[in-house]
Amino acid sequence: MKIPFSYSIKSLFQRKVSTLMTVGSFALVVVVLMVSLAMLHGIQETLISAGSPDRVFVLSKNATTENKSQLPTMAKQAVVLHPEIKLDSDGRPVTSEEVVKTTYIEGLHGGRVQVNFRGVDFKKAQEVHYQFELVNGRLPDPILGNEVLVGKSIFESTQAAIGDHFIANQQEWKILGVFEDDGSPFESEIWTYRSNMIFGFDAQEISSIWMVLKDPNFVSTLIERLNNDRQTFVHAVAETEYFAEGMNSVDGYVALAWFIAVVLSIGAIFSAMNTMYASLADRTGELGALRAIGFQAGSVRWATLLETLIMAFLGFVVATVIIFFLQGFPFIAPIVGLGYISFKLSLTPMLVIIGFLFSIIMGGIGGWIPVNNATRIPIIEALNK
């Protein structure tokens, strides 16, 4: 004979405060786990979709990031002469010499934010970064100093506006426009003319040279030749590979997210156990009576365990609703080799399933021990309590 589902529901309403606290503890754990994984998925989407297969750039030999690279003059002259590089209508190599510095910006609504400043010649940069698109405002003037374009992700996350001023490296800068780059990490940067980098950051040396190749099939050949050239002494990287390497950082974040979730889940499990122990202590006689009138111990055990599973499920529902409203919210995170990139929290069906299973497992563990102990008490002894 089975105990009605309504029995478990009524039992929860008899201890509203402890039920709500336990549901809250489950919700907290699931929110932390799902937010962490959703953020990581957002980062992965940003990095996976970034980069073009026909773009290559070079850094100084021992540099791993642009902001730590200083290319020698010989390299700047020799790199652009390789025949694999695409030529423009005037027969000149489609390349862009760029300066990158990482710094904090202050004075916008987003507070103090660390970003990459990129100094370029906009005409050449637009030829190389051909997915670049000015979506609002205008390009900076090379004569008027300290004018910038802001990537869409940084623009939105800091709630900036065209015409706003901010402070970077003890200099005041003015936002003239907003650009997109097909959702790449470039949208988390601030771009200006190279001349502004000289005065604003004392950046005299080129950080990187970007180039577009005639055919994506030439990428590996050119990279191998550049990396083995002892005269230029540079480190060449394919753009898609460069962004993909940022995924290695994400793996560490995934491990950290699960570690935090497991630690918090221990607290949630103990909360559920305390709730169930307190409830069952007052209901020992009731459980004994159910068994005395013919309900199997297994049915009583399942009906009581169901209470914990319901609390865990409600915690999952609360967490999912919270994540749903956070979906699409912009975040900024440091990625090794790429600096700080902006991305949006991305909730997927798989993450919902993970959150559901994790909450049910917590509920099962938290409820099983007290429920099993309570239903193993002999019927006569239980009725006397």
Pair 205, 124 in one domain: yes
One domain for residues 125 and 155: yes
| 283 secondary structure, DSSP code | S
Q: Could you say which DSSP state residue 149 is in?
A: E
Dihedrals φ, ψ of 121, to 5°?
-95, 110
What are the angstrom distances between the C-alpha of 51 and each of 28, 131, 234?
A: 37, 10, 20
Q: 354 and 257 in one domain?
A: yes
- Do 40 and 59 fall within a single domain? no
At 123 the three-state DSSP class reads: helix
66 and 200 share one domain: yes
Q: Give the chain's domain count.
A: 2
Domain range for residue 73? Answer: 55-214
pLDDT of residue 340: 63
Residues 270 and 351 in one domain: yes
Looking at the structure, do residues 129 and 179 belong to the same domain, yes or no? yes
Q: Are residues 161 and 94 in the same domain?
A: yes
Q: What is the 8-class DSSP label of residue 217? A: G
Within 8 A by CB and 6+ apart from 385, the residues are: 284, 285, 288, 377
CB 179 within 8 A of CB 125: no
Examine the domain organization and report whether 168 and 276 are in the same domain: no
Q: If DSSP codes are grouped into helix, strand and coil, which group holds residue 178?
A: strand
Instruction: Tell me, yes or no, whether 108 and 251 share the same domain.
Output: no
Residue 312 in any domain: the answer is yes
Does 220 fall in a domain?
Answer: no
Decide if 375 is inside a domain: yes
> What DSSP line would sit under 26-52, residue for residue?
HHHHHHHHHHHHHHHHHHHHHHHT---
**φ and ψ at 287, to 5 degrees?**
-65, -40
3-state secondary structure of 371: helix
Given 214, 237, 262, the domain boundary residue is 214
- Model pLDDT, residue 13: 67
Same domain, 254 and 122: no
Do 71 and 139 lie in one domain? The reply is yes
Which residue is listed with tokens 């950046």?
203
Measured CA to CA in angstroms, residue 83 lies from 54, 77, 177, 235, 250 at distances of 14, 14, 35, 18, 37
DSSP-assigned letter for residue 260: H
> Which residue(s) pair with 20 in the sheet?
none
Name the DSSP letter for residue 141. P
List the pLDDT tens digit at each of the 385 positions of the chain.
566 556 556 666 667 777 787 788 888 888 888 887 787 777 777 776 667 889 999 998 888 888 888 888 777 777 888 889 999 888 899 999 999 998 889 888 767 888 889 999 999 999 999 999 999 999 998 888 889 999 988 888 888 899 999 999 889 999 999 999 887 888 889 999 998 998 888 888 899 999 999 999 999 999 998 888 877 788 998 988 887 776 666 666 777 777 777 777 787 777 777 766 666 666 655 555 655 665 565 666 676 778 788 888 888 999 899 888 887 776 666 665 565 666 777 778 888 898 898 888 888 887 777 766 666 655 555 455 5
Residues contacting 191, CB < 8 A, separation 6+: 117, 118, 119, 120, 122, 125, 148, 149, 150, 151, 179
CA-CA distance, 349 to 304, in Å (whole number)? Answer: 30
